[in-house]
């Protein structure tokens, strides 16, 4: 900012400034403590940004792991072909030998699909744990992001200083990208969890044994409800969430702007 003021605005009588506005009970601008104030505020800002970025990265990494698990379940079901159906087509010989072969292959199919069911239940449990861990912080994050986007937009429209406007614009874009990133991974989690139902439908289950088909119903019933990334139990997140946040921010922005000019 000092470089812009000196080189472009030709202002040389500048008062020392700190990164953030804060009250101190002494004249820190013309005192050696100015350097302490500047460094402490810079460190505090760096620490706050690092903590927020780390939390967002942890959230995205956790969601990505769950998306990979749901995709793996879907691919496993699509590629799986029950051995019981092959036994009906290819097994020849005496009736008892054919029945024994069918029972053995059905037992293999049952163990395999039971493992898939248990795997799916465990992934659903991990989804609930993720929401329990990130729910409150995610709600606060999105709520504060809505307020930040609103007030940044207002400050950009009323600002008369070029350097300050550029700084606000960069902050505005970064805030939007943060909200979009969270909503994007939340939508991917929804899509990957619902793809399990599609995988069951494309699964070659029609020729399988009846008990095998009933076990597939368990997966279908559990996958009917998508795995949401929840900002507490009141706010499921998807790509529509960013539209809702932008609408809410614009309404507040229009209200503040009207009050300001009145």
pLDDT means over runs of 10, the chain (262 residues): 50 63 73 78 80 83 89 82 58 50 63 80 86 83 82 78 78 84 86 82 71 74 78 79 82 79 68
d(CA 54, CA 49): 8
Helices 162-202, 33-79: crossing angle, 10 deg rounding: 20
Beta strands in 77-139 (DSSP E): none
* DSSP code, position 62: H
Element containing residue 229 per DSSP (H, E): strand 229-230
* Residue 47: per-residue pLDDT: 83
Residue 185, CB half-sphere, CA atoms under 13 Å: how many?
21
Secondary structure of residue 236 in the 3-state scheme: strand
Pairing mode of beta strands 236-237, 229-230? antiparallel
pTM, 2 dp: 0.74
125-153 confidence digits (pLDDT tens) = 888 888 888 888 888 888 888 888 888 88
Q: Are 108 and 83 in contact (CB under 8 A)?
A: yes
Element containing residue 18 per DSSP (H, E): none
* Residue 11: per-residue pLDDT: 53
Closest CA to 77 of 229, 188, 191, 223: 223
d(CA 68, CA 134): 19
Closest CA to 185 of 238, 122, 109: 238
Domains contained in the chain, CATH given: 52-261 (1.20.1050)
Cα 260 from chain centroid?
Answer: 35
Q: Are 84 and 108 in contact (CB under 8 A)?
A: no
* Residue 96: per-residue pLDDT: 46
d(CA 177, CA 151): 16
């Amino acid at each position: 900012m000092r470089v812009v003021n000196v080189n472009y605005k030709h202002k040389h009588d500048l008062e020392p400034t700190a990164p953030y506005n804060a009250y101190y009970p002494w004249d820190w601008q013309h005192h050696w403590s100015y350097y302490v104030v500047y460094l402490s505020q810079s460190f505090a800002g760096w620490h706050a940004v690092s903590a927020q970025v780390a939390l967002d990265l942890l959230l995205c990494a956790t969601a990505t792991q769950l998306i990979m698990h749901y995709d793996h379940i879907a691919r496993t079901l699509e590629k799986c072909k029950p051995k019981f159906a092959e036994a009906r087509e290819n097994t020849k010989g005496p009736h008892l030998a054919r029945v024994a072969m069918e029972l053995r292959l059905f037992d293999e199919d049952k163990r395999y699909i039971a493992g898939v069911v248990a795997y799916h239940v465990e992934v659903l449990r991990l989804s609930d744990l993720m929401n329990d861990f990130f729910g409150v912080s995610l709600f606060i994050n999105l709520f504060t992001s809505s307020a930040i986007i609103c007030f940044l937009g207002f400050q950009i429209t009323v600002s008369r200083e070029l350097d300050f406007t550029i700084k606000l614009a960069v902050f505005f874009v970064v805030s939007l990208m943060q909200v979009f990133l969270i909503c994007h991974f939340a939508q991917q989690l929804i899509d990957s969890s619902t793809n399990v139902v599609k995988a069951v439908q494309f699964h070659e289950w029609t020729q399988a044994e009846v008990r095998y088909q009933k076990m597939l119903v368990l997966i279908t019933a559990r996958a009917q409800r998508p795995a949401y990334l929840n900002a507490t139990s009141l706010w499921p997140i998807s790509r529509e969430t960013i539209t809702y946040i932008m609408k809410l921010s614009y309404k507040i922005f229009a209200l503040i702007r009207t009050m300001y000019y009145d």
